[in-house]
């Protein structure tokens, strides 16, 4: 294992310490329990937006804390969901009196830990809501799986909802927006190499020189399928067709209802992309794939969208939701309307995403 | 069955100590199992959690069993993370609820404790048997314990039956296609691999058996 | 070789096409000869700032084209300096009547090709100046080498000078600033892995599992020294000490003098960093090293600077001047004064660097 | 020396064709040499440049030697890039300047052409012999040609002497520590490797010899 770390045990903590020192104007880091929060938190009267998940996906989520995006992020160990006390303490630290929205990626661990945190925060008297992101079209059904993983769309949903929270949306309106944004995102990823979890010290899986994994998530887990390595255009075609051809997707999920202070099962449908839709297109590096290759993929994605009558309104290209040093990429299309587009364009000032300010 | 056929606070402490030993020893093996169909962290997660539990043991010595198990549940919830943390954590919290105030557990009470633990895991994770999870080790174990109990077996034989059933349950996860947890994303590719959570579950039960029954004749 | 490309022959072109499509509001790409230029070029009355170099360092330089940074960038083949016609045509396309400044990294190839371009552009009637960036302290002497390489400081110099050009500095003042900024930069880099030049198809050098290369440049060339792999803190210490302890560095370079329209040899001295100095600190990924590891390095660099009485005023952390997918990192400290700091903070809007706008 | 002991336009064209062949064949080998002490592109650079030159050949057939060499210089400058592009490009431009308007070059004129080429390379790159560059192949080649010339050798023997000296010069770069070009960054680690630019330079001279002397008795 070759990494610029001191030890697997101290990696997450030292990395967070470095981030805090590098961006003292933007973020602070609290330890025991661990969470990253806005340097100017709490922002009074604003809904606090909080996310979190395992580490190893940087800049997500800690790098998205700041003006116009997250109020706090809770990093777990590498690829391990954070624990409920982290979210609970973060919520207490950053809430500004207007409630808290948890944005949760759909993984068994994240979901359960956030559920417990939600109950804790509610018991503490906090007004709390939670929305799930589950955009990975590589996972086909929701009945015979844990449901679709939350991947690339998470970044876009955090940006859009962060802008809305900054603009003063109340908790109910923000929750509705977050659910709508999440339902409009679709992603698919692939890997050229495995990553190496520091504590394990060896690659999670082995791939031959002529092979790739298609339909991967963001935790170094193997994908749906191992295939012969293909040219970038074929890969872009395969991923973008999976997204563009993905039919309506229905699932039942549990969401915390702040009005009744209870979990309710709701059935949600994500509508397929259709000719004439407007999207934000996101080409993401899994960590070890350089920017120049992402642009090769984007070139083809742009053609594919044009061919399907999908209008790319904005782009995001780079390593934003990563799997350590894995080589590979994911594509995300998020259907937007004027409201979401305006929120996308709104100023954001975080270590990982910044414009307009 | 004799008067001594009970599970006391000392045995609970020994269980947790032996579980911490076992999970430390199995850390890399569990992680390898998780690498195949998950994200290569289950061994670290469980080890981290039970080392945390081990560090609490001195503070638990004066507590009743319910309080001990509650501390364990809270420690696991606060330190394991991932899927396993809330699942085992909730399991121990439910076990604590049915052993609250107890200094000693009868074989029946041990059965209730195990049942409560399983119920907590299922309540939290909503997995049914056959989904290729820890439930596939815990469910047959609880059933086997019960069966042994109702046929009048003592604590140790019943625990031995539970361990055997759990280990059988672990092996049974190999041909399963996962429908819960991270392995479910693999679809058919999850077939042929042993579930890491089921494996750690069997280790926990084995530690319980050892804690209670070493030095006793089963 | 595992890369998301179609073919080594089309890689640079397709990547540039992708960039142009991804950022139509910011940049355009011209082919035959190849250069990237501001979508709003020429900006009348503004000095045009142009840089260039081999490809494989993305986002540098094409990703730094836009408001407040470069007017044009000339990408060569992977790791191969561009040809003089590229710089010449770029200069003709983007100059706004106030002259052109070439920012050149100190490599034999870059220097010679830019020299020829300078002569061509001058012959064309353009007012032209050029400034060399040579900040790599891994290269010790200038007499027995080609002189220090231009590495990390290039990014910072481009940002600072781009802001100054945007502010309306005239050619003479901009040239003076550029030289001053370049003289205040010091960098050092290391690699955990080699990169693979697409056309070659195999790694440029082989490194054992327990080895690293120290004192590398940005072209996948081997470094000054091969050493046993060390913890991140030791690596950060080694790199930062090399920078902090680097003595005054004197070299004779050729600069084009627009007033006499001839090359003149000038002797320049770069002064060492001293207690009390204020700097921009830049931790750069060579392409394959993820952000979380950069923060581990930054944590220690921050300590080292504090220990030496160096005040870090601003930070830049990420993959900005890369070597394809190489794993490794470089550290750069650039001494700033109020003027440079103000220019650093000024708005910038490029595909690769953006804030304030 | 006979009337036929000259270098004409046809031989220049043949030279460029053979050079393109040789650099194509040596592409990977030159790149490997550059990988060891540089950035692994010299073979691609030279091949790209001379394939460009090859593509121009049809358009050059009516031109005088100076014009042909000028086109070659411009083509190399516009397509090779890196260090080699301006160096060889300038070399050919200088060679063009001293052969301007010529249809045929005497052995002395060939000597001037080679000398001009070297002067161009040195003027552009400011390398002295011993810096581990193409100058270390070109300098002894020019000197050997001159020596052969002044002792009355014909064109082919003089070119053969130039090639031999260039190849000897290439070998002599191996123990050198580079002080120019990219290899100079390596310091002492550049020792023990053959310089790629010197190697391509010897190939160019060898192609010239072949173009002029195949079918002749040297
Ligand atoms: N919904 C669930 N119900 C019961 N057990 C589950 C569930 N989801 C996952 N598991 C168990 O958790 C184990 C994985 O735990 P761990 O690796 O620690 O968490 P993660 O999957 O978040 O990385 C699986 O092997 C499985 O036995
Ligand atoms: N200043 C110089 N003078 C003469 N030859 C040089 C000089 N710098 C480099 N070279 C030659 O150029 C060769 C490298 O060419 P190439 O690989 O094409 O360019 P680059 O080094 O820019 O990648 C070296 O092997 C050396 O012979
Ligand atoms: Mg995990
Ligand atoms: Mg796991
Ligand atoms: Mg080169
Ligand atoms: Mg080279």
Q: How far apart are CA D144 and CA D75, in angstroms?
A: 28
The answer on pLDDT for D114 being more than 90 is yes
- Average pLDDT of chain D to the nearest whole number: 95
Q: Does C290 touch chain A (CB under 8 A)?
A: yes
Atom 25 (ligand 1) nearest CA: B197
Alpha helices of chain A — where are they, by DSSP H? 11-22, 84-94, 108-123, 153-167, 171-183, 232-244, 291-307, 338-345
Which stretches of A184-275 are DSSP H helices?
Answer: 232-244
Q: Which subunits sit against D, judged by 3+ Cβ pairs under 8 A? A: C
pLDDT score recorded for residue D214? 87
Contact A327, C2 (CB under 8 A): yes
What ipTM, to 2 d.p.? Answer: 0.95
The predicted pLDDT at position A97 comes to 97
The answer to whether the beta carbons of residues A72 and A90 sit under 8 Å apart is yes
Question: Over pLDDT 70: what percentage of chain D?
Answer: 97
> C167: how many CB neighbours lie within 10 A of its CB?
13
| Number of independent structural domains in chain B | 1
The ligand 2 atom at the shortest distance from the C-alpha of residue D132 is 27
Domain map (residue ranges) of chain A: 12-184+249-271+339-355, 188-244+274-335
| pLDDT for D2 | 45
| Residue of B136, B116, B119, B115 whose CA lies nearest to B179 | B136
Third-level CATH fold of C12-184+249-271+339-355: Rossmann fold (3.40.50)
Question: Mean pLDDT across the stretch C138-153?
Answer: 90
Gyration radius of chain B over CA positions: 16
For residue C272, what are the CA distances in angstroms to C99, C135, C242, C300? 32, 12, 11, 20
Q: How far is B139 from chain A (nearest CA, A)?
A: 20
- Contact A76/B181, CB-based, under 8 Å? no
pLDDT at residue D1 greater than cutoff 60: no
Instruction: For C161-194, give the DSSP string.
Output: HHHHHHHT--HHHHHHHHHHHHHTEEEEEEESS-
Q: Is residue D1 part of a domain?
A: no
CA distance C206 to chain A (A): 14
Q: How buried is A209 (Cβ within 10 angstroms: 0-12 exposed, 13-18 middle, 19+ buried)?
A: exposed
The token duo for B210 is 């050892």
The angle formed by the CA atoms of residues C330, C331 and C335, to the nearest 5 degrees, is: 145
Give the Å distances, CA to CA, from A256 to A101, A178, A250, A259, C61.
10, 13, 19, 9, 48
CA–centroid distance for B72 within its chain: 12
For chain C, percent helix, then strand, then coil, each to nearest 5?
30, 30, 40
Q: How far apart are the first and last CA of chain B?
A: 11
> Which residues, numbered 193 to 222 in chain C, qualify as contacts with chain D under a Cβ-Cβ cut-off of 8 Å?
197, 199-200, 204-205, 215, 217, 219-222
> How high is the mean pLDDT of chain C?
97
Give residue-wise pLDDT tens across range A201-258.
999 999 999 999 999 999 998 888 999 999 999 999 999 999 999 999 999 999 898 8
Q: Domain for residue B218, yes or no?
A: no
In a domain, B70, yes or no: yes
Portion of chain C with pLDDT greater than 90, in percent: 94
CA distance B13 to B49: 15
Position B218 scores a pLDDT of 47
Is residue A329 left, alpha or beta, with left meaning phi > 0 and alpha meaning psi from -120 to 50?
Answer: beta
The tokens for D189 are: 């680690």
Mean pLDDT, chain B, integer:
95
pLDDT in tens, B144-203: 999 999 999 999 999 999 999 999 999 999 999 999 999 999 999 999 999 999 999 999
pLDDT of A329: 98
Smallest Cβ–Cβ distance between B181 and the set A84, A146, A215 belongs to: A146
Q: Is residue C140 predicted with pLDDT exceeding 90?
A: no
Count of CB pairs separated by less than 8 Å, A with C: 186
Answer whether A17 touches C (CB < 8 Å): yes
H-assigned helices in C37-196: 84-94, 108-123, 153-167, 171-183
- What is the sign, positive or negative, of the torsion defined by CA atoms of C298, C300, C303, C305? negative
The predicted pLDDT at position B217 comes to 59
Which residues of C belong to the active site?
Answer: 57, 219
Query: CA-CA distance, C320 to C151, in Å (whole number)?
Result: 10
**Which of A108, A190, A197, A218 should be substituted to probe chain B, the one whose Cβ sees the most B Cβ atoms within 10 Å?**
A108
Residues A264-318 have pLDDT tens digits of: 999 999 999 999 999 999 999 999 999 999 999 999 999 999 999 999 999 999 9
Nearest to A348 by CA among A322, A325, A314, A324: A314
Inter-chain touch C18–A298, beta carbons under 8 Å: yes
What's the rounded Cα separation, in Å, for the pair C246 and A298? Answer: 42
- Rounded-to-integer distance, Cα A312 and Cα A306, Å: 8
Would you state the structure tokens that stand for residue A342, as one six-digit string?
A: 């305006």
- Please determine, for residue D58, whether its predicted confidence score (pLDDT) is greater than 70: yes
For the question of residue A219 being annotated catalytic, the response is: yes
Token pair of C54, please?
């081999």
Asked if residue D3 has pLDDT above 90, the reply is: no
pLDDT in tens, D12-34: 999 999 999 999 999 999 999 99
Task: Report the run of H or E that residue B138 belongs to, with start and end.
Answer: helix B135-150
Choices 3.40.50.720, 3.40.630.10, 3.30.1180.20, 3.30.930.10: CATH for A188-244+274-335: 3.30.1180.20
pLDDT band at C259, cuts 50/70/90? confident
User: In angstroms, what CA-CA distances link C2 with A191, C198, C288, D39?
Assistant: 10, 9, 13, 19
Contact status of A40 with chain C (Cβ, < 8 Å): no
pLDDT at D217: 59
Q: Which residue in chain B has the smallest CA separation from A84?
A: B78
CB distance A166 to ligand 1 below 6 Å: no
d(CA B105, CA B7): 5
**Which residues, 6+ apart, have CB-to-CB distance to A114 below 8 Å?**
A52, A84, A87, A102, A104, A130
> For the residues of C235-279, what is the DSSP string, one character each?
HHHHHHHHHHT---EEEEEEEEETTTTEEEEEEEEEPPP-TT-EE
Omega of the bond leading into C59 within 30 degrees of 0 (cis): yes
CATH value at residue D146: 1.25.40.340
Ligand 4 center to A80 CA (angstroms): 7
Contact D185 C113 (CB under 8 A): no
pLDDT reading at B1 higher than 70: no
Q: Which of D40, D80, D85 sits opposite C220 (nearest CB)?
A: D40
Q: Is residue D19 part of a domain?
A: yes
What does the pLDDT read at residue B214? Answer: 87
Q: Hey, how many other C-beta atoms are within 10 angstroms of the C-beta on A97?
A: 13
| Average pLDDT of the residues in B75-80 | 97
User: What is the per-residue pLDDT for D78?
Assistant: 97
Q: Token pair 């963001």 is at which residue?
A: A218
CA dist A310 and A273 (Å) reads 8
Phi, psi of D143 (to 5 degrees): -65, -45
Q: State the smallest CA–CA distance between residue D142 and chain C in angstroms.
A: 23
Cβ distance of C319 and A317 shorter than 8 Å: no
Residue B16 has pLDDT above 90, yes or no: yes
Q: Is the Cβ pair A224, B38 closer than 8 Å?
A: no
d(CA B73, CA A68): 37
Question: Which pLDDT tens digit goes with each residue over C212-256?
Answer: 999 999 999 888 899 999 999 999 999 999 999 999 999 999 989
Helices marked H in D61-154? 65-79, 84-97, 107-125, 135-150
Examine the pLDDT at D218 and tell me if it is beyond 70: no
Nearest CA in chain B to A196: B40
Q: Token pair of C91, please?
A: 């200069």
**Does any domain span residue D218?**
no
For C62, which DSSP code? Answer: G
The pLDDT assigned to C48 comes to: 98
pLDDT at B26 exceeding the cut of 50? yes
């Amino acid at each position: 294992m070759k990494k610029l770390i001191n030890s697997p045990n101290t990696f997450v903590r030292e990395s967070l310490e470095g981030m805090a020192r590098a961006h003292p104007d933007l973020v602070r880091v609290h330890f025991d329990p661990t969470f990253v929060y806005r340097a100017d938190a709490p922002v009074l009267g604003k809904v606090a937006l909080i996310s979190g998940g395992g580490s190893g996906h940087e800049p997500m989520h800690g790098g998205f804390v700041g003006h116009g995006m997250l109020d706090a992020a809770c990093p777990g160990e590498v690829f391990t969901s954070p624990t409920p006390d982290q979210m609970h303490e973060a919520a207490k630290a950053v809430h500004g009196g207007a409630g808290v929205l948890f944005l949760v990626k759909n993984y068994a661990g994240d979901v359960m830990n956030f559920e417990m945190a939600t109950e804790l925060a509610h018991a503490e008297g906090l007004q709390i809501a939670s929305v799930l992101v589950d955009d990975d079209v590589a996972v086909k059904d929701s009945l015979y799986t844990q449901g679709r993983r939350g991947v690339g769309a998470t970044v876009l949903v955090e940006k859009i909802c962060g802008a809305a929270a900054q603009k003063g949306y109340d908790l109910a309106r923000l929750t509705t927006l977050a659910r709508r944004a999440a339902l409009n995102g679709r992603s698919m990823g692939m890997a050229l190499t495995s990553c190496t979890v520091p504590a394990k010290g060896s690659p999670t899986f082995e791939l031959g020189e002529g092979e790739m994994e298609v339909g991967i998530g963001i935790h170094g887990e193997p994908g749906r399928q191992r295939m012969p390595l293909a040219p970038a255009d074929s890969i872009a075609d395969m991923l973008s067709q999976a997204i563009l051809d993905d039919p309506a997707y229905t699932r039942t999920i549990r969401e915390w209802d702040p009005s009744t202070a209870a979990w309710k099962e709701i059935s949600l449908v994500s509508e397929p992309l259709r000719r004439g839709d407007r999207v934000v297109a996101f080409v993401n590096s899994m960590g070890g794939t350089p920017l120049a290759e992402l642009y090769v993929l984007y070139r083809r994605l742009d053609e594919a969208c044009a061919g399907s009558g999908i209008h790319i309104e904005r782009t995001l290209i780079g390593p934003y939701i990563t799997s350590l040093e894995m080589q590979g990429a994911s594509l995300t299309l998020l259907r937007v309307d004027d409201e979401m587009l305006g929120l996308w364009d709104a100023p954001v000032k975080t270590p990982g995403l910044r414009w307009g300010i | 069955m004799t008067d001594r056929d009970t599970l006391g606070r000392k045995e609970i402490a020994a269980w947790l100590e032996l579980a911490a030993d076992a999970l430390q020893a199995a850390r890399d093996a569990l992680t390898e199992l998780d690498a195949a169909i998950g994200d290569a962290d289950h061994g670290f997660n469980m080890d981290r959690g039970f080392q945390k539990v081990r560090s609490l043991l001195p503070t638990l010595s004066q507590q009743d069993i319910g309080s001990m198990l509650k501390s364990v549940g809270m420690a696991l919830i606060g330190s394991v993370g991932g899927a396993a943390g809330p699942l085992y954590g909730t399991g121990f919290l439910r076990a604590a609820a049915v052993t609250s105030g107890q200094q000693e557990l009868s074989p029946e009470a041990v059965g209730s404790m195990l049942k409560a633990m399983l119920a907590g895991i299922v309540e939290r994770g909503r997995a049914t048997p056959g989904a290729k999870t820890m439930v596939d080790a815990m469910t047959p174990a609880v059933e086997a314990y019960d069966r042994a109990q109702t046929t009048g077996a003592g604590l140790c034989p019943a625990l031995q039956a539970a361990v055997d059933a759990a280990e059988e349950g672990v092996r049974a996860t190999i041909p399963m296609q996962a429908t819960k947890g991270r392995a479910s994303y693999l679809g058919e590719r999850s077939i042929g691999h042993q579930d890491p959570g089921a494996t750690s579950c069997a280790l926990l039960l084995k530690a319980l058996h050892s804690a209670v029954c070493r030095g006793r004749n089963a």
